[in-house]
Amino acid sequence: MAFYDSQLDVLYSSAQLQARIAELGAAITADYAGQELVAVGVLKGSVVFFSDLIRQIDLPLATDFLGLSSYGSGTETSGVVRITSDLSRPIEGKHVLVVEDIVDTGLTMQFLIENLSTRKPASVKVCTLLEKPSRARVQVPIHYKGFVIPDAFVVGYGLDFDEKLRNVPFVGVMRR
C-alpha cells in the first residue's frame, strides 16, 4: 500500500494522463511544424507534466524554466504573483510555449503572459495540464489543455500540498 492511498481519490490515472499528453504533443507538433519552439516550464508544479510533454513534441525544441509563486503554504492563492526564478536565456523573436500544471484563478498566468510579452517573443501560447474554470477571476487564453476539472484541491503528478505529494503518479483529490 502506497503512503498516499488513504489520503487521495484518483481523478486522472497515469494511463489517462499519458494518453492525453500524447494528444497534446501531437497537436503542438502539428501547430509548430517547421518552426523552432522554446518550451518554458513553470516551476515547480509543471516539472512532471513538462518532462512527459516535451518527449511527445517532435520538433527542434529548446527548454527553459521560470519560477512563480502565488500560494505560499496554503491552498488558496494570495493573488500576489512574484518571480522566484527567471528564464536563463532571452526569448526575443522566439515562439514560446508556457507549460503549466494548473490554471485556476488565471491571475498567475495573466501575469506571466504579460511579463513574457514585454520580452518581444514571436508568440506566446499556453499549455496546461489542468484548468479549473469555476475559480477563474480573469480569462486567459489557453491554447492546449489536458483536462477541465471541478473545483477540488488536486495533488500528484507534480501538484503539491505544502510541497508534498508531487511524486504521486496520478492526479488525485485530497479526501477531507
The residues assigned a catalytic role are 104
Please say whether the beta carbons of 45 and 16 come within 8 A: no
Query: Would you say how long the chain is, in residues?
Result: 176
- Classify 156 as helix, strand or coil: strand
State the Cα–Cα distance between residues 154 and 160, nearest whole angstrom.
Answer: 8
Angle at 53 between CA 48 and CA 57, to 5 degrees: 155
